Structure 1
Amino acid sequence: MKNSQGDTLRVHLDKYRDIVGLRSTRCQRKYNQDRYKVLVLDAPKLETDPTTTTTASTTTTNSSTRAISQMDADQKTLFYFAIFDGHGGSNTADYLKANLDVYIEAAKPGMVPKVIKDLRKLGGYFRNFRPHFLEPFLPADFETKGSRDAADRARQQRKVHIPGKGGQVKPMIFIPHPNATEEEQNQELETLESQATAAGTALRGPTPAPTEVPLSEEQRSQKERAATNKPRVEMPQEEEEEEDEYDEDDDPFEIIRRRNLNRTSPLPGGTTAYFGTDRSEYASLSLRAEDLAEKEKREKAATATPTPIPTTMTLEQRLCLSFLQCDAELIRDKYQDGSTASVVIVQSKGAFWETKDDLDLILAHVGDTRVLLCEAPRGESIQLTTDHHPDAIVEADRIRKMAAYVSADSFGENMFLGQLANTRALGDIAMKPFGVSAEPELIRRTVKASEAAFMVLISDGISSVMSNQEVVDCVKLEENPTQAAAFVLNLAEHLGAEDNCTVMVVKLPAWGAKMPDLSKELREYRWQSEAQHSRARRR
């Protein structure tokens, strides 16, 4: 990269103590499952992808139209800072440390449909998964391309008609379960058909054999004369009258329908069946009935002029795709543990710590690791990310759709499904169908070089015992980022941190500006209180 004077620099960022400070410890845990990584991304200009010959839906995002967010739009350098907090093991965190940046560099539009299809195989929350930032790269018929055939098969299997009393044909509606195999469905259809036929025969009784009426001698001679003397003339046949008028109360199918109304019965392979004649009853009972709004949406999409799929991706789209691609790979390889992830890409013309131009901060975040920004000269802490906890408003609305529950543990912390503190994470295969998503929260913030003092990335081991302002104020007191990271970590340990703790301090152009210490009194009070408690425990 080049500095502000145009000189070419080669800097090992994670070992240069005056630019990036790093400290990590296991605290009171047996192992340290936190990971971090610092590097410069190689983002070459994308060429036309041969796999993108299909067309995308007409929906577009505002981010895709902003030229400033194109990775190949200018000569800016992309500095990559990432922190990962593993839970249940360190395998997922190790995988993300090794591969996430590689996926960001290699992201292409043609990868999007396959990644989304792999995630949809999970079912549940991901059955109709369609991330907003990747919408332009999905074909217009992507949502219904595979589901229409299945819907047609389901409708075909439900069309079972059996003749009833008086030649009337009454429908027997069959609702197949998606987990039932085709063989099980056919077998159950045959069973239901035979049961209905037997019920109809029992109610009608045996059909009497036709009897011949004896003719007199005169009638027989007239019949013979008519057959020999008169020419044969075909007369139009009169319509046969129905044997008897249809009576709904005597119809076997109506009796069965009333008996089974509003009731489903389990069948082999998880299949359910329902007898009924009223389509409205069936529609209200079956949640898989075709939604009219979705049908209208598909029809509009089919008639609208398709928009060509873009051949380049914005930085936000690359980040979203790389997170989901990593998650799909983790699911394929059956990683049982999970990890949070907070990634910050600093987009700068030259060295970010001494540039005079504005800085673009692009964040992709999943979980409860945090990214803090300190703006000079106010010295206030700005939290750029949101903790994805079950009690967060956005997350509570999202997981409520899956009928998931939230419970509090013995420490009063809300746990998703009684097991996870985070509602978004990479990995955690067992929890994916219930709404644990790896779709990242994407943030873009532009800051002036004269106001950007520094940035801090911390894991929840730090945030559980220190406030954001305390962390930022501790960094202000030190001369370089490495000493600042050590100071924050030592204070967290002194205040009783138990979980793995990781601190990454990133120097920005306004480093060293005079700023007030807004939490000095609070830190001194907590320090003295903890010291008194320590002496009391030793006694």
Structure 2
Amino acid sequence: MGYIVTLLPHGRHEPRIRGLAMSGFRAYRAAAGRRHLRPQIRPAPAPLMFTSPALQRNYHNYFVTHLPSSSLHPDSRSPSGLHHKLPRSASTPHTPGPGASPAVVPPNMPSRDLTVVRIPLRSAKHHFGVANSRGQREYNEDANQAGTICMPAFARRAPISLVRSQMSKSGEGTSAKSVLGDPQLFYFGVFDGHGGSECSEFLREELHGYIEEAAAEFQLESSLQKHTRAELAETADSSQKDAQDTQEGQIKGVPAAGANEGASKAVKLELDLLDEYRRTVGGYFRRFKPNYFTLPKKDLATPSDGTAPEADPVTLEAVLTYAFLRADLDFITAQARKPDPDDPYVSDFPLNNDEVLGSPHQPPSGHGIGGPARFKGGSTASVALISSPTPAPFWHPASHSSLVVAHVGDTRILLCETKTGLPRPLTSDHHPSSPAESRRLRRFAESLVTDSFGEERIQGLANSRAFGDMQSKRIGVSAEPDITRVDMGPAEFSFLVLMSDGVSGSLSDQEIVDVIKEARTPEEGARHVVEYATEISSNGDNATCLVVRLGGWERRSEGGLGSLGTKEVRDARRAEALDPRRRGRN
């Protein structure tokens, strides 16, 4: 039915370390690698899926799809309409690597010539758009990311007969499968740095790698495939079977010896991570128990029948939580080993007994973490993963898909409902003033200070959860994400929006979706949101907005009042922003 796509790693460039010669950095990284690297589980070469042992990461800034071979004229046999609207001029032909199955025509598609191409996601303005502005700040500390990520599917199975019957009537491009055999899984993220951009840039370049690595280490199973990799391996060449049996536990996303063994390994990884937090950070993390971790109970420590206790299956929520916490711990321990430029006494002593101790693990890319000096700032993060049960892309009006959102801090993600035209927030800000965060922090923070704007802060921080911020870790500033899962029906939602607080702090959710409704493309919608937020903002914060097209995009103005619900308010706010007397009032 499908084929396997072998893709090259994206973003492999030389590390950029300010103020340090490249030759010196290579020597430093080599020395650090010999002392502090942890064992890495990497995909091993196998005859079924992977064709190169050098493949360490499979994140890409493009997706693979089928397009009509003619790029100048629409297919006369397909119905009239907007069709795929994919940027054929920006695409490149896709050639599977050695050992991959050949590309075939998708089932139930009209008989025509199709070409398998790679589409850069940021060039597909009809499907994805991003815009950012530094506002009135000197630097832009926001970062964002978009692409396809290599991990098992988590979508719910949909009525395939219904999807196929509607797909056969459309000229929409059909996406290809990933290297794991599942439909491609899309990843979007927005990161809002504070105190500098080092942490947000680290998350942009590395967080998706941590997620891929955690899925492999936890041996996360696909929600769509009925056969495990061990069963598929029985059809491989017998001469390679013995070698492959020892490597199956290292292949991404597929368990080698049953779900119980994978779950037991996941529990061990979770316990090891929590123990490392207790030893290196202490304070709040001495009794830290993440919501999505499956920790062993006391009555399971000694099974009555002498067998191993039955472990709970590995969940995507546990994988994301582990990836977030692992990335955060690596970042702060890397900073603790660097000299502090603000303290002349400890500048010669990278480690201090009053701060975080320990040594960082190597990030998935193998690059260094941050610059040569200690970075005390941090970053928020909100990521969205979209998985479809069939090769129909998630933006197709007939496609079912599942959305999982992981969130830390005050960046936000929301959906626009097609039927009502109303926004559906998927995140809530992690501020010390919120009841849940206040209860969590008051046991460890000596006091919560109220600033001149009436907002509560913890050691000067507006966010009670964040990456980095090493000086506030012991009092409870954690990178544990809140995770939300949404099953999206055909055309149930019009679009997905990810934004930094430079947008959400100035605009209401309804204003944001109404501005996007008036745009012709997601790219135009993201640009208009950032321009509007920057125009009326009173604090001039960095503003970033990502807009992702969903199945109900063409019907985005049908629900409720369309884009007219906030038009008067928006016009009034723009008029006030243009008033020359406004500055005096502020």
Flag the structure with larger Rg.
1
Cα pair 2:416 2:423 within 8 Å, conserved: yes
Q: Answer yes or no: is the 8 Å Cα contact 1:485–1:503 preserved in 2.
A: yes
CA RMSD of aligned residues (A): 2.8
> Who is 1:331 aligned against?
332
Distance apart, 1:10 and its partner CA: 2.0
Report matched runs for 1:374-385 at 5 Å: 374-385=416-427
In the TM superposition, residue 354 of structure 1 has moved relative to its aligned partner by: 1.5
Unaligned runs of 5+ in 1: 46-62, 141-296
Partner of 2:384: 344
Aligned position for 1:269: none
Structure 2 residue aligned with 1:415:
457
Does the CA-based 8 Å contact 1:88-1:338 persist in structure 2?
yes
Output the TM-score relative to the length of structure 1.
0.62
Q: 1:36-51 residue pairs with structure 2 within 5 A?
A: 36-43=144-151
Between 1 and 2, higher relative CO (CA 8 Å, sep ≥ 6) is seen in 1
Amino acid aligned to 1:24: N
Query: What SS does the aligned partner of 1:333 have?
Result: helix
Task: Name 1:362's counterpart in structure 2.
Answer: 404
1:10 to 105, 118, 124: 118
What do the CA deviations read for 1:166-197 (whole angstroms, capped 9, x no partner)? Answer: xxxxxxxxxxxxxxxxxxxxxxxxxxxxxxxx
State the shift of 1:26 in Å: 0.9
> In the alignment, is residue 469 of structure 1 matched against residue 469 of structure 2?
no
Q: Which residue of 1 aligns with 2:284?
A: 125
Secondary structure of 1:471's counterpart equals: helix
Q: How far did 1:413 drift?
A: 2.2
**TM-score normalised by the chain length of structure 2:** 0.57
Counterpart CA distance in 2 for 1:420 and 1:464 is 16
- Segments of structure 2 that go 5 or more residues without pairing to the other structure are 1-63, 67-83, 85-104, 107-113, 159-177, 219-264, 336-374
> Is the 1:92–1:337 Cα contact (8 Å) retained in structure 2?
yes
Going from structure 1 to structure 2, the CA distance change for 1:536 and 1:99 (only over 3 Å counts) comes to closer
1:525 pairs with one of 563, 572, 575: 572
Using a 3 Å threshold, how does the CA distance of structure 1 residues 102 and 532 change in structure 2: closer, same or farther? same
1: distance between equivalents of 2:438 and 2:509? 23
Q: Choose which of 505, 508, 522 in structure 1 pairs with 2:547.
A: 505
Q: Which residue of structure 1 aligns with residue 523 of structure 2?
A: 482
Cα separation, 2, equivalents of 1:536 and 1:96: 36
**Residue of structure 2 aligned with 1:78, choices 167, 185, 209:** 185
2:180 and 2:202 map into 1 onto residues whose CA distance is: 30
Contact 1:476 1:512 in 2 (8 A): no
Give the counterpart of 1:20 among 119, 123, 128: 128
Equivalent of residue 415 in structure 2, options 356, 373, 392: 373
Alpha-carbon spacing, 1:28–1:117, altered in 2? closer, same or farther (3 Å): same
SS across alignment from 1:327: helix
Aligned to 1:101: 208
Q: Which residue of 1 aligns with 2:322?
A: 321
2:101 corresponds to: none
1:369-406: CA deviation from partner (whole Å, max 9, x where unpaired): 00010011311011100100111121111112224422
Over the matched positions of the two proteins, sequence identity in percent amounts to 36
Aligned residue number for residue 494 of structure 2: 453
**What SS does structure 2 have at the residue aligned with 1:352?**
coil
- CA distance in 2: counterparts of 1:300 and 1:114, whole angstroms: 18
- The answer as to 2:274 corresponding to 1:116 is yes
Q: Contact 2:303–2:309 (CA<8 Å) still a contact in 1? A: no
Tell me if the contact between 2:495 and 2:548 (Cα under 8 Å) persists in the aligned partners: yes
User: 2:550 and 2:289 mapped to 1: Cα distance?
Assistant: 36
1: CA distance, partners of 2:582 / 2:472:
44
CA contact (8 A) 1:367 1:423 kept: yes
Q: Do 1:24 and 1:500's aligned partners in 2 also have CA atoms closer than 8 Å?
A: yes
Paired residues of 1:423 and 1:437 also in contact (CA < 8 A)? yes
Per-residue CA deviation, residues 229-260 of structure 1 (Å, 9 max, x unaligned), is xxxxxxxxxxxxxxxxxxxxxxxxxxxxxxxx
Q: CA deviation at 1:536?
A: 7.5
Is the CA contact 2:300–2:309 (under 8 Å) kept in the aligned structure 1?
no
Q: Is the contact made by 1:389 and 1:422 (CA closer than 8 Å) also made in structure 2?
A: yes
Change (3 A) 1:448 1:68: closer
Structure-1 separation of matches of 2:567 and 2:396:
29
The 5 A counterparts of 1:98-497 are 98-107=205-214, 108-109=217-218, 110=265, 111-121=269-279, 122-135=281-294, 138=295, 140=296, 298=298, 301-302=301-302, 306-309=308-311, 313-334=314-335, 335-348=375-388, 349-350=390-391, 351-354=393-396, 356-417=398-459, 419-496=460-537, 497=539
Q: 1:34 maps to what in 2?
A: 142
Q: CA deviation at 1:533?
A: 4.1
Report the secondary structure of 1:10's partner residue: strand
Distance 1:489 1:326 in 2: 29
1:67-123 C-alpha deviation (Å, 9 max, x unpaired): 879x99983321000000001111111111111101111111344333222212211
> 1:298 offset after TM fit, Å?
3.4
CA distance in 2, matches of 1:86, 1:133: 26
Cα distance, 1:337 vs. partner?
1.4
Structure 1 or 2: larger helix share? 1
